Structure 1
Amino acid sequence: MGMVQIVQPRQVALSDQARLQVRRTLPNRQRSFVGAWCFVDHYGPDPVREPSDGMDVPPHPHTGLQTVSWLFEGALEHHDSGGAHAVVRAGEINLMTSGHGIAHSEQTTAETTVLHGVQLWIALPERFRDTARAFQHHAPERRRIPGGEALVFIGELPGVDRSPIQTHTPLLGAELRLTAGSRNELEVDAGFEHALLVDQGAVSL
């Protein structure tokens, strides 16, 4: 078995204007990447009583990466300079490819009362850094696994599900919802680096 490393997140403000605080696990002094995953912000569950309580990220640029929005509760509205406009809700993925350059914004929707989710970034390989900008949205089906259920939003979890979302590096991204006291053994690619982000509860690995 390979080395298991525990990385503690640090608390940061999402922006100067917003009250939203996020727990940033990557990048970290201990580790900058897990495979091509290069950024992990984990937020909520936070009550949204007024617009300044939620997410209000004004248009800003990205190059050379893909951004992933994945929610556990609430909804976010996405606009980008490639012409994409979409709402992502709990259990859905928005994936934006910046390629040679894109600007986007994200705001909590008016009906959201609790905001809870993660923002993930994927570093594009050098040969794809100048690829065309693009946008994808997908709502994976819940799949039963021993002791709970899984939603596979990127890549393939063998024997469970495969996502149609396109990335430029082989990756796996999945949400696991396990009942208390359950035990699960997952078949994963031993050639990958893997990370487990604990949202709620305690986990033994």
Structure 2
Amino acid sequence: MGIIRQGILGGFRKKTGTVVGARYRNRDVIRGLPRPSSKPATELQTSQRSRFGLVTGVLSWISEYIELFYGNRSDANSPMNEAVAYHLKEAIKVVGSSIEMDYTKLMFARGRLKLPPTLRLAASVEGKVDFEWSNEVGADNKFRDATDMANLLVYNPAKDEFVSLMAAAPRSAGIFKLQLPLEYGEDDVYCYINFSSTLTKGLVSESRYVGKIQIVAT
């Protein structure tokens, strides 16, 4: 059932008969219902659907990071839509006859805050990953401040799991030891980082793939 909010000349929502009302880019629009097709999907259509399903499936696990840190929040393009578009174009690789996500290209954030010039990883004892970053020389400014907070993300392909921690440590700390589940011992994991401002709401850096590392078993 459609809902008419401003009389017969106003926009409406949901399905009414054979049309659907919606709000798109600040405009009320009406579109017809799609007609069912008896034609089998083409190879290109099947490939596109597989790619879209792969990307949205991965990003759904880190949707909180995407919504907070990725791009703008305009009506025209949501952070998730921007992230999906990027990963469809840049983060899918073909392996034989199948497609896979290239986790070295995974990005959960885009922004103007500056990243430290040097980022490093080290695997320490007891299943921890040491994220290390350099402390820049020079005065703080809008796009780099000692109070900026590091946000961390780790993906374990063997377990098909993400581990995340927001506001792990301030930029001034230069290091954070992230504890991973004990069952990750001897697994290889992909590691990522970005920074977010504590002084300016919504000001974040892009995320960066720091590297792949094997977890030291306890």
Greater C-alpha radius of gyration:
2
Q: TM-score, normalised by structure 2?
A: 0.25
Q: Looking at secondary structure, tell me which structure has more strand per residue.
A: 1
Q: TM-score, normalised by structure 1?
A: 0.26
